[in-house]
Structure 1
Amino acid sequence: MARSVAEAQRPPRIAMLGGTFDPVHLGHLRSAVELREALALDCVHMVPAARSPLRDAPQVAPEDRLALLRLGIGDTPGLIADAREFSRRGPSYSADTLAELREAYGPEARLVMALGHDAFMRLAEWREPHRLFELAHVVVIDRPDHEAPRPEALGELLAGREVERVAELMAEPHGRLLRLALPSRMAISATEVRRRLARGDSVRYLLPEAVESHVLAHGLYRETGR
């Protein structure tokens, strides 16, 4: 679809949606689509982590997770399977990825880091958390069943940053926080998907068909001996 003159003149709107994607499921993909719609984004970089500093090691190899992500995205407009963290040594730090995206899209781009509620609650523990806001906005994809008090360090990190509307978020290139409730709110757990695959149980309608077919054909996540 051709962009209007006004859209062509505005700064690009880009999001980074990171995760282990172990494996990518319909909840991840639907969230990316709805995030793009809600924020009128040009594209969403879905960035699988090579090694997450705050999570256990992924169960399958990076190249397998990337292949599954590419299969899951398929030809979906505006979604990009971004393998840049696999080319860096050591843990995958979001600040480094945002810095690369900022350099690629320029200082006026509206750059967004989107994350889920669980990751958000630990944001103050991340490496260089203040730098995240120097590079991008943070958008929290809210979970309706999750209301917990914020850690004190998180409250200090967010002081003066929160906005309530997309227009306020996009008024500046970086530095703000928006909590966003997406329409579908698909509560699919990658942990449960892995358990079902390990047992040989059905994952139909939890994974895209192409992802399910690849996983089953290659025996990914299956318990040894089954």
Structure 2
Amino acid sequence: MASRRVPLVLLACGSFNPITNQHMRLFELARDHMHSTGQYQVVGGIVSPVSDGYGKQGLVLAKHRIAMARLALQSSNWVTVDDWESQQPDWTETVVTMRYHYGRILKDYDQSEGTHKDCNANPLTSPRLKLKLLCGADFLNTFKIPGLWQDDHVEEVAGRFGLVCVSRGGLQPERAVHESDTLSRHNNNIFLVREWVRNETSATEVRRALRRGLSVKYLIPDSVIEYIHQHNLYTEDSERRNEGTVLRPLTKQAQQPVKSLDD
């Protein structure tokens, strides 16, 4: 019965610089897959752009990335854009962002359920809302980059929350899971989704095309293209933003003792 399925919210964290059709497609693919398991009912999706403190080269201001994401998702009736992470003065660890959203949506969901449940409902047998991190296959490989993740954060993301990972190009997310003891231990909480319609669109290539005055129509929504032109985003000057800056995750995590994930 659908009513016995676990309600699930999908959270995607990233630069979204700019958001592309492929970013939005991840949500649709993930929802279909999670429904096909017979265990979950996807009740919402959240796009959470990173803050300006991330320090990645070419990263335009968060206010623009938030605005573009909202324009792009106007046609979605279940995926929303949240600006909490983007407004933080420093880069926020993914697991911290997940904790924040889980606490917020759990409170909202419980209040909503309390309002709509009839007097015969038994809250003790109702499935508990879950939050999982939605990502592309390339994301799993970041767990292997020395100094980028804390071991306990990987454990919490994979173990407490879980991941829904969509294939991308020739990448093999199965191998990334296999090669990590931490990920393998939580294999039942990591859902690998196959995208049969190959789409290699990347924000990097979109920015490159825009800098060169080339068309990006059908790669990103028309409303986002219009916004980019209105605000003169993604120029040679903007691509030099943060040039030479070390990614904030690397400098922030360097303050913590670093161990191999598989030690």
Q: Normalised by the shorter chain, which TM-score bucket? A: 0.7 to 0.9
Matches within 5 A, 1:174-193: 176-193=189-206
Q: Which residue is equivalent to 1:60?
A: 60
Deviations 1:30-70 (A, max 9, x none): 122222232231111111111575x7245210000000000
Structure 1 residues without counterparts, runs of 5 or longer: 1-5, 164-175
For residues 49 and 146 of structure 1, what CA distance do their matches in structure 2 show?
A: 24
Residues 1:17 and 2:12 aligned together? yes
Amino acid in the other structure paired with 1:47: S
For residues 161 and 50 of structure 1, what CA distance do their matches in structure 2 show?
A: 29
Q: Which residue is equivalent to 2:242?
A: none
Structure 2 residues without counterparts, runs of 5 or longer: 36-41, 107-126, 238-263
Return the structure number with greater helix share.
Answer: 2
Q: Which residue is equivalent to 2:117?
A: none
So what's the TM-score if we normalise by structure 2? 0.70
So what's the TM-score if we normalise by structure 1? 0.80
* Secondary structure of the structure 2 residue equivalent to 1:182: coil
Deviations 1:115-154 (A, max 9, x none): 1122211225424211213431112111241238957995
Residues 1:118 and 2:138 aligned together? yes
Query: Structure 1 vs Structure 2: percent identity of aligned residues?
Result: 23
- The structure that has the greater radius of gyration is 2
Change (3 A) 1:217 1:105: closer
Q: Which residue is equivalent to 1:196?
A: 209
Change (3 A) 1:149 1:109: closer
Change (3 A) 1:217 1:126: same
**Does the CA-based 8 Å contact 2:177-2:183 persist in structure 1?**
no
**Does the CA-based 8 Å contact 1:142-1:181 persist in structure 2?**
yes
- RMSD value, Cα: 2.6
**Aligned-pair CA distance for 1:209:** 0.7
Amino acid in the other structure paired with 1:115: C
Residues 1:133 and 2:158 aligned together? yes
Displacement over 6 Å in runs of 4+? none
Residues 1:29 and 2:19 aligned together? no
Amino acid in the other structure paired with 2:18: P
Q: Which moved more, 1:137-146 or 1:7-16?
A: 7-16
Q: Which residue is equivalent to 2:258?
A: none
Q: Which moved more, 1:108-117 or 1:188-197?
A: 108-117
Matches within 5 A, 1:1-226: 6-8=1-3, 10-40=5-35, 41-51=42-52, 56-106=56-106, 108-124=128-144, 125-127=148-150, 128-147=153-172, 150=175, 155-163=180-188, 176-224=189-237
Amino acid in the other structure paired with 1:126: W
**Does the CA-based 8 Å contact 1:46-1:80 persist in structure 2?**
yes
**Aligned-pair CA distance for 1:89:** 2.9
Change (3 A) 1:144 1:59: closer
Deviations 1:188-207 (A, max 9, x none): 01111101111111111111
**Does the CA-based 8 Å contact 1:71-1:211 persist in structure 2?**
yes
For residues 37 and 151 of structure 1, what CA distance do their matches in structure 2 show?
A: 23
Deviations 1:16-37 (A, max 9, x none): 0111000001111112222223
